[in-house]
Structure 1
């Protein structure tokens, strides 16, 4: 079977909840556990011999950072990896339909479709083994607590055949604990299904072919075709859509705070998948990943759940726990970093504390969602959160910054609690 992999990376209009971290790099390139988020998707796809090509589709401009990333990944894994830019936001089904000729080029039989903001151990081989000839479309599902299911696409699954008999995106009332995990294995005849939807929504072009037209329809949203809300509900109950029920850790990386939990999960997985990426120095507790170019004083104490980026300087007596220190940051002597993300080239002064108090997630639940890292609750009240410093933020000596978000290029002059510093 000839396979390709398609990873949907979105665009600048998406990922607003990932600010201020997405102000400097596209969200899919944000480093988690030492590597850009979509690196983990590409790494999983590269392990499948049948996958001949990996396509990234998004609305981001092809910046130098994206080009460098694609070039590095291509060299690292020896796969044909390309970035395809949409001319407008076409939706999760519309974008693959627009590039259907590229996806089907070379006689592709089927393709993996993955959303860039989900993370798990990506059981792609198991999904391939699960898919039978009579299953044209397979959707990976995971189970979440009933209270969280309303935030996701819920699937009614036949207990004997695993056919998806009912599907609804973000229902108003409880439907099922089985939710869409954002990983699919689709036969290429999915484009016929999307094409029928397309014909309902668009006029034929002058040539008579059904193609997207750069009209006001695209800008006002009529040009989008959304997989989750328009296609999956139509396929459910037709005998064509089946669920691969994954019994694995899964999370949705939506908010900036959720990156911290993703960092923790990926570091834990490194123990079995990439133990060489974890440091076993005497001053490291639990899972800690330190870039080779970072300078860490031997009297500093790091961990658990800590990632130290390239060129970071960690001074004497520094304590870092459950945090990410991004490239070029400086942690001066005896400062304390807890439950926080320290942005690129930021500096925390001597004896200062930067800390957050994130909502704990039950470690016994294998599928955890992370939307509970928002700074405000459903009533608009501030609630415990992690602390995030944007790029080039300076924290003076002997102050405390707790449960706050600091936008880039700020030189704060005192401590803060439960604040957003614009």
Structure 2
């Protein structure tokens, strides 16, 4: 089994945090988004993963440090890492085809901007599986249309009339991903473009037209990291899940507490100092932070930041930040000083 992870986008909706760090590498609940996504997929698949292929953007943005981290991630999961580049933002279908040498055999394709909780039961009768989540407002999503046998027969983008309430979440399984590759090559060769981009849906629809059987797989939770507020909601949900699982250390042994309290669930990294402070619930703090005279809840703070005299709720703070102020719902990018 292979996992293909397109992650070349800049994540403009998550600025300022994605101005200095690619969105898939922004930590949520103590780990980068793409790390948690890939680990969760590997954990629930019923067969070994031999290769993880990452499709990155411009090397000036996704540099050698990113390549090194992703290689370590794949190897830690017992898989080979393959690195590809998408030099232009030409859509989901184009991004997948940038990994063309890896497109053979069974594969999961997962876009690195969401987190999930799911059980991946691969239907042996299916040529492909598209994972979906039941939503209350299907008109805002791409949804699947099913026949009487519960096979997917059509993909409909933001339907004006009801088709189904099963939204496509951006995770797919192909029993033989080379079949998708062949159809996407036809899309590229014939310059089939929607919204100025080459789309994975056109390759999927071509497979359906040739009689390939597509089934749905459902996820228990689909958590987006599209903007600051939604990312904080995802951080809170993940902290609840991690605490319930009980298999991941959440508070580093090196945390120093001086007249401070931690209200779980929280994740707090290494060499963090808390003085006269209450943290939690639902707070993630990276490594080497100093927090003094604060009350912080429902927030996400990255590494090497110093926070003082703050009452924070629904705050997202980047790396190497110095903050001393009165605002509560703040979003501060890396290397910012507010004193």
* TM bucket, shorter chain: 0.7 to 0.9
Higher-Rg member (1/2): 1
Distance in 1 separating the partners of 2:200 and 2:67 = 28
Choose the corresponding residue for 2:146, options 153, 157, 169.
157
| Aligned residue in 1 for 2:262 | 284
After TM superposition, the structure 1 = structure 2 runs for residues 369-380 of structure 1, keeping only pairs within 5 Å, are none
| Aligned residue in 2 for 1:17 | 13
| Aligned residue in 1 for 2:298 | 322
Q: Does 1:346 align with 2:289?
A: no
DSSP 3-state at the match of 1:314: strand
Q: How many residues align?
A: 327
Unaligned segments of structure 2, at least 5 residues: none
The answer (yes or no) to whether the contact 2:117–2:219 under 8 Å persists in 1 is no
After TM superposition, the structure 1 = structure 2 runs for residues 192-207 of structure 1, keeping only pairs within 5 Å, are 192-201=182-191
Cα displacement (A) at 1:347: 1.9
Distance in 2 separating the partners of 1:31 and 1:293 = 17
Unaligned segments of structure 1, at least 5 residues: 203-216, 357-386, 397-422
Give the direction of change, closer, same or farther, for the CA distance of 1:22–1:197 in structure 2 (3 Å limit): same
Distance in 2 separating the partners of 1:342 and 1:94 = 33
Choose the corresponding residue for 2:337, options 381, 394, 404.
394
Q: Does 1:7 align with 2:5?
A: yes
| Aligned residue in 1 for 2:272 | 294
Distance in 1 separating the partners of 2:50 and 2:172 = 17
Choose the corresponding residue for 1:120, options 100, 105, 116.
116
DSSP 3-state at the match of 1:39: helix
Give the direction of change, closer, same or farther, for the CA distance of 1:237–1:283 in structure 2 (3 Å limit): farther
| Aligned residue in 2 for 1:207 | none
| Aligned residue in 2 for 1:67 | 67
DSSP 3-state at the match of 1:50: coil
What is the alpha-carbon root mean square deviation over aligned residues? 2.6
| TM-score of the aligned structures, taking structure 2 as reference length | 0.87
Distance in 2 separating the partners of 1:276 and 1:95 = 33
The answer (yes or no) to whether the contact 2:37–2:114 under 8 Å persists in 1 is no
Cα displacement (A) at 1:248: 0.3
Q: Does 1:306 align with 2:283?
A: yes
TM-superposition CA deviations, 1:338-380 (whole Å, max 9, x none) = 111112122222xx33323xxxxxxxxxxxxxxxxxxxxxxxx
Distance in 2 separating the partners of 1:311 and 1:269 = 25
Distance in 2 separating the partners of 1:183 and 1:257 = 23
The answer (yes or no) to whether the contact 1:164–1:237 under 8 Å persists in 2 is no
The answer (yes or no) to whether the contact 2:118–2:218 under 8 Å persists in 1 is no
Choose the corresponding residue for 2:310, options 310, 335, 356.
335
Cα displacement (A) at 1:291: 0.3
Moved more, 257-266 or 89-98: 89-98
| Aligned residue in 1 for 2:165 | 177
The answer (yes or no) to whether the contact 1:166–1:237 under 8 Å persists in 2 is no
| TM-score of the aligned structures, taking structure 1 as reference length | 0.71
Bigger relative contact order, structure 1 or 2 (CA pairs below 8 A, ≥6 apart)? 2
Give the direction of change, closer, same or farther, for the CA distance of 1:80–1:225 in structure 2 (3 Å limit): same
